[in-house]
Amino acid sequence: MSVPAVHAEGGERPSFSAIFARDLGYVWTSLRRLGVPSRDLEDLSHDVFFRVYQRLSDYDAERPFRPWLFGFCFRVASDCRRRFSNQREVLGAELEPIDPLPDALDRLVQAEATSLAQLVLQSLELERRAVFVMHEIDGCPIPEVASTLGIPLNTAYSRLRLAREQFAEGLRRERARRGER
């Protein structure tokens, strides 16, 4: 599921209100993928946009926008994780209400797959998870990922390789625990 890179139109810097309207869903989803608990998504999304507002004049309109925005998501999620690293909370399975429409079974299967993927993503180290999400889910090229996260290119490739291995092993382990093939 690849999202095309978003550039500013004509090389111009987009307005903050246009960014907020267009990318709120992307920020919310990115934070969730980076392991932010559901209860904190709204507050941390606002934190991301506050930082974007403060740094919008630094944005290079010739570069893709979404990787730049993901960098803010990564830093906010990382800061949140660091602040709450010594707190532990055990949550029950989050159940979403089943849609009564004819395609409810398809939605349930998709929700379970998403839940499984989210669970396995949570097991990845944050730095590896960020590279994995940006490249595998958002479709950013690895050089752009490395640049956005401020890491060497070879480190980005290494983190991606390790994240892929961990993700595959996590899926295998969780499916075995659930009695699936």
Architecture of domain 1-87: Orthogonal Bundle (1.10)
| 70: number of Cβ within 10 Å | 27
Helical pair 65-83 and 142-149, crossing angle rounded to 10 deg: 50
Q: How far is 14 from 7, CA to CA, in rounded Å?
A: 9
Domain boundaries, the chain: 1-87, 102-181
- CA 129 vs. chain centroid, Å, equals 8
Give first-to-last CA distance, the chain, whole Å.
23
Class of domain 102-181: mainly alpha
Distances from the Cα of 143 to the Cαs of 20, 84, 128, in angstroms? 26, 31, 15
Return the pLDDT at 136: 92
What confidence tens digit (pLDDT) does each residue in 71-98 have? Answer: 999 999 988 877 765 555 555 555 555 4
The DSSP call for residue 56 is G
**pTM of the predicted model, to two decimals?**
0.62
